[in-house]
Structure 1
Amino acid sequence: MEETISLKELFQTLKKRLWLIVLITIIAAIISAVISFFVITPTYQAKTQILVNKTKSDEQLYTGNEVQTNIQLINTYNVIITSPAILDTVKDELNLDRSVGALTSQIAVSSATDSQVVEISVQDPSPYVAAQIANKTAEVFKNKISNIMKVDNVSVLSKAEVKGAVAPIKPQPLLNIAIAIVVGLMVGVGLAFLLEYLDNTIKTEQDIETILELPVMGVIANIKEVPQATNVAARAPFNHRAPQRGETYGS
């Protein structure tokens, strides 16, 4: 016969193992908080934007085809910005103590759809170093792109700056703790049902009916311990001597 589980049984299982679910959730939140605040190194981000166009004289106007060509070249510019031809110079001028490969992993280049604006984003444990790398990368690209391609019309739209107290982009402790709480609840609930499934002990009449599939005919109630009978003889001893002729009890 197919076994079914009612909502009442589910809630009873959760109620019985509630302490375990709460404990696992609290432990997960504490571990996440400790890792977020004390283990993971904060990472800051700085961004700069540049506009790349082909050289045009003041009298000439951009046609739709030329603008579309510039947009298609953006992907090429993105590759050039993170190439050793640019980043070698950035590394040397800033005296960075890291390889070009490590520097490349810190830089992300993107552009909006149908836009000639290129955004250079840099992540670093120091917000000031991140801003320096972003600005220097844009500067070196502007100076060298004319030698790499026939482009000498690069404009820096905005420079990366560090203003006041800057919040790191990662880690995000509150988000990490919230995720840990959700994961802890899921693990706790799953473990509660697993323990309930593995528990084959009989505790109630319902367990007998469920496991043995037998009806309960009667229940033996718990009998409290009966106090020992008072020993009257011990408190009031009597004479065991048999009475002699002519004697009566009590004489």
Structure 2
Amino acid sequence: MPDKILQFTAIIQILKKNIFLIFLTTIITTLIGCSYLFFLATPQYSSQTQVIAKVEAGDNNAALAGQVQANSQMSTTIAQVMTSQSVLQEVIKNLGLNKTVSELKAEMTPTTTSSSQVVTLTVKDTNPYIAARIANETATVFTKKASKLLNVSNIGILAVAYPNTTPMSPNKKKGIAISVIAGLVIGFLISFVKTLFNTKVTDESDLEFLGISQLGSISKL
């Protein structure tokens, strides 16, 4: 127990001696992080639309349950077809986008749930209004092509996309916090490395850190 207390005391002494260095590295990394977040990073916005595989009413519960299960399984196929080359090429043409199919596809994320017939398409872009237009146009083109591509006609748009002017990234609060923590860690590491390679003894705390007993002291004249 005394050894642990001694080690803890030594660490505190190192931090005290290098407090300015730790403070400086924290300020520098925070300034770098803030410069990137506020001036260099391009904000990304997202917009969502939803497509549903509608259930046609049946005369008995068994038929209805079977239709629900079939449509739920179909949602996975819908998610894949929505971002297919056939659909995206027409979206690019209709909106006059200066993007390739692969670039546009990379900005899209279709999601499904096992218990739902709804497919949610999330589109991200540097412009919130363009993100919404792309999402809505993709849903429109897909529903028109659905009967031919999937041989079904019971697919419709459940929710249209609206511009979301709050950026999804970068997360400035999180980025600043990471910058501060990084600065503290770097400062601590530099302090410990500096102390380990510094064999010069300046006071009694250095002897404690090195585990050396003090034999005596010389008084100043």
SS of aligned partner of 1:63: helix
Q: Deviation of residue 205 (structure 1)?
A: 4.4
Question: Does 1:177 find its partner at 2:187?
Answer: no
Question: Does 1:204 find its partner at 2:209?
Answer: no
Q: Deviation of residue 212 (structure 1)?
A: 8.7
Question: Does 1:162 find its partner at 2:194?
Answer: no
The one-letter amino acid paired with 2:79 is N
Structure 2 stretches of 5 or more lacking a match? none
Q: Where does residue 247 of structure 1 map in the other structure?
A: none
**Is the 1:121–1:134 contact (alpha carbons within 8 Å) kept by the matching residues of 2?**
yes
Instruction: State the superposition RMSD in angstroms.
Output: 2.2
SS of aligned partner of 2:218: coil
Going from structure 1 to structure 2, the CA distance change for 1:172 and 1:212 (only over 3 Å counts) comes to closer
Q: Deviations over 1:54-86 (max 9, x none)?
A: 6x3676765223212211221111111111010
Going from structure 1 to structure 2, the CA distance change for 1:214 and 1:130 (only over 3 Å counts) comes to closer
Going from structure 1 to structure 2, the CA distance change for 1:211 and 1:143 (only over 3 Å counts) comes to closer
Structure 1 stretches of 5 or more lacking a match? 224-251
Q: Where does residue 110 of structure 2 map in the other structure?
A: 109
**Is the 1:53–1:151 contact (alpha carbons within 8 Å) kept by the matching residues of 2?**
no
Q: Deviation of residue 161 (structure 1)?
A: 1.4
Name whichever structure is richer in helix by fraction.
2
Q: Where does residue 120 of structure 2 map in the other structure?
A: 119
Q: Deviations over 1:124-171 (max 9, x none)?
A: 0111110000000000000001001121112211111127xx111111
Going from structure 1 to structure 2, the CA distance change for 1:180 and 1:213 (only over 3 Å counts) comes to closer
Q: Where does residue 97 of structure 2 map in the other structure?
A: 96
Q: Deviation of residue 221 (structure 1)?
A: 1.7
**Is the 1:42–1:125 contact (alpha carbons within 8 Å) kept by the matching residues of 2?**
yes
Going from structure 1 to structure 2, the CA distance change for 1:143 and 1:59 (only over 3 Å counts) comes to farther
Q: Where does residue 191 of structure 1 map in the other structure?
A: 190
Number of matched pairs: 217
- The 5 A counterparts of 1:61-72 are 63-72=64-73
The one-letter amino acid paired with 1:139 is T
Task: List structure 1 runs of 4+ shifted beyond 6 angstroms.
Answer: none
Q: TM-score, normalised by structure 2?
A: 0.89
The one-letter amino acid paired with 2:199 is N
Looking at structure 1, the residues matched to 96 and 211 of structure 2 have their Cα atoms a distance apart, in angstroms, of 78
Q: TM-score, normalised by structure 1?
A: 0.79
Q: Deviations over 1:65-113 (max 9, x none)?
A: 3212211221111111111010000000000011111000011100233
Question: Does 1:81 find its partner at 2:79?
Answer: no
Q: Where does residue 233 of structure 1 map in the other structure?
A: none
Q: Where does residue 138 of structure 1 map in the other structure?
A: 139
**Is the 2:48–2:160 contact (alpha carbons within 8 Å) kept by the matching residues of 1?**
yes
